[in-house]
Amino acid sequence: MRSPPIRKCFLYVFFALVSITNVMWIVSSYWLNRRLRHNAFNVTYRENVTSAMSVTIRITVLAEKPVCSAPDKLVGVMKMNMAEMIKTYHDLNASVSTQSTRSGGFAFEPDSCKPKLSVAIIIPFRDREDHLKTLLGHLHPILLRQNLRFQVFVVEQSGNGTFNKGRLMNTGFLYAKNEAKTHFDCYIFHDVDMLPEDDRNLYSCETTTNRVYHLSCSVSKFNYKPLCCGMTVGGVLSFSENQYIKVNGFPNDYWGWGGEDDDMNSRIKLQGLRVGRPALGLCRYCMIEHERDHFNPYTENVVNDRVAAANQKAKISGLNNLKTNTTGVTNRPLYTHLYVDVGTQ
Ligand code: UD2
Ligand code: MN
């Protein structure tokens, strides 16, 4: 049966009004959001657009966030079931937590306060996607609990040539320092397979002393034996910007597995810096078990010769003569991905 014209008319007017209201609501929310950001207010909003007719926008307007105090939500020792963690690793295309805000560019920070420290995490990478998923799902909530602003840079070596971890580290550092939109106080060089076991091990650095920090000083791979004085600085190592520049970064000429960490150890000493280590219980890390990678072979003689010559070399191989080519940069939900041609041996 056909509706009488008057009813049809009402329906048209009704739908027109609803559509106009929706459009106005979206436009005004967008405008408000931009204005408030501009005025240094903090706005968090969530959009859930299920259809043109149903728009839910929640806007929380807070005055300027307070500066973060010492972290008070740390859990301490984390019970980690590796078998479970590896099975339930995180989807790299999804955000980990709703408790964080993007701050200028692609760094994260806690919703509730303004961090005092800003940290770049630099991960050398190739062909370890499962490790990356496990690490990021685990690390992101810890860094938020530590009240940090942070951005993760995954620096992937392109092609199948021999791995060169030093060049990847240096490329990641220079990108984070010069190209990222956030200023970083600390640069933390982080193997992809290292999972912190205690969130009181702060991902920070010393900006005013001569100490760099070896955050991973007790590792499952070495049966949690304390790593100390004169030993390797592999795994997870933290610098201020000036400290990393002072040591001229990692050496560029270690191809394959081994040596670059020992060379770094000697660079640190050569520059009169010291290696600090957190209290033993705090610096426990679980290294995900793995085989040696196919394109990361160990060449004993070459490594030993180079480490012996490390002190002479520190000034001529590192940040100051790095020649790599970053062929792609992609900002993904959890990290910034650099795709790097490190050159050939
Ligand atoms: C030790 C050190 C590590 C490094 C290495 C010698 C500790 C806890 N770790 O680790 O810092 O100095 O010896 O080079 O002391 N990677 C890839 N794909 C590859 C090869 C390497 O992603 O094909 C990356 C990844 O981040 C990995 C890191 O390089 O964690 C170190 O390589 P590794 O895990 O094979 O070396 P490992 O466990 O002997
Ligand atoms: Mn490893």
Res 165: pLDDT: 98
Query: Region 10-14: what's the mean pLDDT?
Result: 76
- The mean pLDDT of 213-239, rounded to a whole number, is 91
Locate the ligand 1 atom nearest the alpha carbon of residue 156 and give its number: 22
- Residue with the nearest Cα to atom 22 of ligand 1? 125
Range scoring the smallest mean pLDDT among 80-89, 173-182, 194-203, 254-263:
80-89
Report helix angle 165-178 to 260-270, nearest 10: 60
Which residues 6+ apart lie within 8 Å of 267 measured at CB?
Answer: 247, 248, 251, 310, 314, 318
Cβ neighbour number for residue 158 with a 10 Å cutoff: 15
In tens, the pLDDT along 274-305 reads 999 998 889 999 999 888 888 888 877 777 77
Over range 255-264, report the average pLDDT.
93
Which ligand minimizes its atom distance to the CA of 283? 1
Residue 237 CB neighbour total at 10 angstroms:
27
pLDDT at 12 over 70: yes
From residue 328, give the alpha-carbon distance in Å to each of 7, 127, 170.
59, 17, 16
Task: Tell me what pLDDT residue 231 has.
Answer: 75
What's the pLDDT band for 33 if we cut at 50, 70, 90? very low
Residues annotated as catalytic (active site), given as ranges: 191, 193, 257, 260-261, 287, 290, 292
Can you tell me the distance from the alpha carbon of 279 to that of 254, in angstroms, rounded to the nearest whole number?
A: 31
Confidence at residue 4, expressed as pLDDT on a 0 to 100 scale: 58
Residue predicted with more confidence, 250 or 292: 250
Mutational test site, ligand 1, from 152, 153, 188, 191, max ligand atoms within 8 Å of CB: 191
Q: Are 80 and 144 in contact (CB under 8 A)?
A: no
Nearest CA to ligand 1 atom 5: 258
Q: Which residue has the higher pLDDT, 311 or 52?
A: 311
User: What's the pLDDT at 163?
Assistant: 97
Distance 237 CA to ligand 2 centre (A): 14
Residue whose CA lies nearest to ligand 1 atom number 18: 126
User: Does residue 103 carry a pLDDT above 70?
Assistant: no
Phi-psi region of 76 (alpha: psi -120 to 50; beta: other; left: phi over 0): left
pTM: 0.83
- Name every protein residue with a CB atom under 6 angstroms from any ligand 1 atom: 123-128, 163, 165, 191-193, 216, 219, 221, 232, 234-235, 257-258, 260-261, 287, 292-293, 295-296
What pLDDT is attached to residue 31?
53
Q: Are the beta carbons of 237 and 173 closer than 8 angstroms?
A: no
Q: What is the mean pLDDT of residues 298-321?
A: 81
- Pick the atom of ligand 1 nearest to 123's CA: 26
Tell me, in angstroms, the distance from the centre of ligand 1 to residue 322's CA: 20
**Interval 153-178 mean pLDDT:** 97
- Residue ranges near ligand 2 (ion) with Cβ within 5 Å: 193
Average the pLDDT over 253-257 and give the result.
94
Q: Is 141 exposed, middle or buried (0-12, 13-18, 19+ CB in 10 A)?
A: middle
Q: Where are the alpha helices (DSSP H) in the chain?
A: 5-38, 82-87, 129-145, 165-178, 241-246, 260-270, 300-308, 310-313
149 CB burial (10 A radius; 0-12, 13-18, 19+):
buried
- Least confident window among 189-193, 312-316, 331-335: 312-316
Mean pLDDT, rounded, for 103-117: 86
What is the phi-psi region of residue 256: left when phi exceeds 0, alpha when psi lies from -120 to 50, beta otherwise? left
* Predicted local distance difference test score (pLDDT) of residue 3: 52
Ligand 1 atom with the shortest distance to the CA of 233: 15
State the first-to-last Cα distance of the chain, in angstroms, to the nearest integer: 82
> How confident is the model over 71-88, as a mean pLDDT?
83
pLDDT at 39: 31
Output Rg (C-alpha) for the chain, integer angstroms. 25
